[in-house]
Amino acid sequence: MQSKTNEYLEKIFTDAFKRESDSDEAIWRSLPFFAAALGLAITIIGYTIERAPAWSWSPMIVVIYVLLALMVVSFVWAFRWFWPVIKIRAYQYPPSATEISAYADALSVYHHDAETAPDQIDSSIVEDLRALMVTQLAEASTRNRENNDGKLEARSQVVLFIVIGFGLAFASEAAIFVDRLSEPSHYAGDSTDASGKETRGRARQAGRGDRKIPQADGSASQGGLGRSEALQGERDEAAREDQTMTDPKKPAAKPAAVKPDPPKPQTLKKSEGNQIGKRS
């Protein structure tokens, strides 16, 4: 009867342990999306604040700045909830394969010393190992579930405040657009800056247009110079051909074959208080 009970519990706790492991992996796979969203949030903050008008007690400008302040607070709060998602947590796992094998050998010695019937030694060892795994899987799935619950709650808060921040950013842009249509004087500085940049650009283009390349006087001297350059070019070309014929390039030496280094084994580091398979 005890064997049937442990068999049933082992199946339940194994499924629970796998479910929590998959949940942890799913959370980590979603992190690139949240990182990209938070990066876009930083860009939107800078862009929207740059387009905002100068401060005044105009009702529309007060509304714009209130929306901007709420947007910044929302994104900052999303960053605050992002930390619980990525911070290191201690996850528990069953003992390693070598530890279980050593435990099975120790159980075999124990049952022989306890004068257990020879035909019951194997079944007794299996029952003891099953009881161990039931306990380990139950403790591991419970602890890992607590960790995943904290991550899932933090992730939902990140999504919530990112969505709120984007909504406030769109509302700020809409308010700025309406204010530009109704009160263009609030943005007179923008047009002045733009016209100033355009004037300076035209001045630079005009300065470049006034510069002329000086030309040498006398067609005879130009003709003589051209012939001299042509003759010099022919002499240089002939010299290069002679050098190519007398000094042929040697083929590059083939590099010696080097045996690649073997891959290194993987290691899983845990803190001293959370070693895998540690038993008290």
pLDDT of 5:
86
**183 near 58, Cβ under 8 Å?**
yes
Low-confidence residues of the chain: pLDDT under 70:
1-2, 188-280
Question: Domain locations in the chain?
Answer: 2-187
Residue found by looking up tokens 């130009």 in the block: 222
The pTM of the full predicted model, rounded to 2 decimals, is: 0.58
The crossing angle, in degrees rounded to 10, of helices 121-182 and 59-86 is 170
**158 near 82, Cβ under 8 Å?**
yes
Residue pLDDT, tens place only, 71-104: 999 999 999 998 888 888 888 888 888 888 888 8
Q: Rounded CA gap, 169 and 1, in Å?
A: 64
Tokens of 178: 């309406």
Q: Rounded CA gap, 43 and 52, in Å?
A: 15
**139 near 95, Cβ under 8 Å?**
no
Q: Rounded CA gap, 107 and 256, in Å?
A: 56
Query: Hey, how many other C-beta atoms are within 10 angstroms of the C-beta on 51?
Result: 15
pLDDT of 259:
29
pLDDT of 1:
43
pLDDT of 189:
60
Please classify residue 224 by burial: count the beta carbons closer than 10 Å to its beta carbon, then call 0-12 exposed, 13-18 middle and 19+ buried.
Answer: exposed
Q: What is the CA radius of gyration of the chain?
A: 39
